[in-house]
Amino acid sequence: MASSSGNDDDLTIPRAAINKMIKETLPNVRVANDARELVVNCCTEFIHLISSEANEICNKSEKKTISPEHVINALESLGFASYITEVKDVLQECKTVALKKRKASSRLENLGIPEEELLRQQQELFAKRTRNAGVLDLTARIVYESAVV
C-alpha cells in the first residue's frame, strides 16, 4: 500500500497504524476523520522535531551517528522527559529478548549434550570437512554422528 511518490513531504506514518493506536488509547470514542488526519501529520512533525534536536545534539558532540543518548537528550530538552523511562525500558526488553533468542539457538538444548562436547565434535568435523560445507550441514552432521555414537 506504500505510495511511490518521490516527494519527501508526503512521508507519513500509515493511517492504519495511527487508527489502531487511537482506538487502543481511546476505546469507544468516536474520532472525526479530520482529527485522525491531523494526528498522522502531528506524528511526522514530532519525528522531525526529535530528529532535528537529536541531530543538533549529535553535531555538538562531534559524532557522526545519532545515538540513543542523543535521542534521550532531545526528548528531555523538548519537554518530553516523561517518555524517557518507558522508551528506555522497552528498548532494554527488546534487547533481552534478542539476547535470549541468540543463546537459545546456539545451545542446541534438545540434544542434552554439553556445549564443550559439541564444540569438540565440531572441531573434528571442521578438520574433516571441506570448506564448502555450510554451518547447517555441520550442525546436522554433529547431530547425526552423536546419535550414531
Residues within the interface to other proteins (CB under 8 A): 8-9, 11-14, 17-18, 20-22, 25-26, 28-32, 34-35, 38-39, 41-52, 54-55, 59, 64-72, 75, 78-80, 83, 86-88, 90-91, 93-95, 97-99, 101-102
Q: Least separation, in Å, of the C-beta of 106 and other proteins?
A: 13
Total residue count of the chain as it appears in this document: 149
Instruction: Return the DSSP state at 27.
Output: T
Q: Least separation, in Å, of the C-beta of 141 and other proteins?
A: 28
For residues 142 and 146, what is the distance between their CA atoms, to the nearest angstrom?
6
Sign of CA dihedral 119, 122, 126, 132: negative
**CA gyration radius, the chain:** 25
- Beta carbon nearer to other proteins, 31 or 140: 31
The amino acid that residue 96 corresponds to is T
- N- to C-terminal Cα distance for the chain? 54
For residues 73 and 15, what is the distance between their CA atoms, to the nearest angstrom?
29
Q: Least separation, in Å, of the C-beta of 145 and other proteins?
A: 30
Q: Least separation, in Å, of the C-beta of 100 and other proteins?
A: 10
- Beta carbon nearer to other proteins, 79 or 134: 79
- Beta carbon nearer to other proteins, 95 or 120: 95
For residues 89 and 69, what is the distance between their CA atoms, to the nearest angstrom?
14
Q: Least separation, in Å, of the C-beta of 129 and other proteins?
A: 28
- Beta carbon nearer to other proteins, 11 or 119: 11
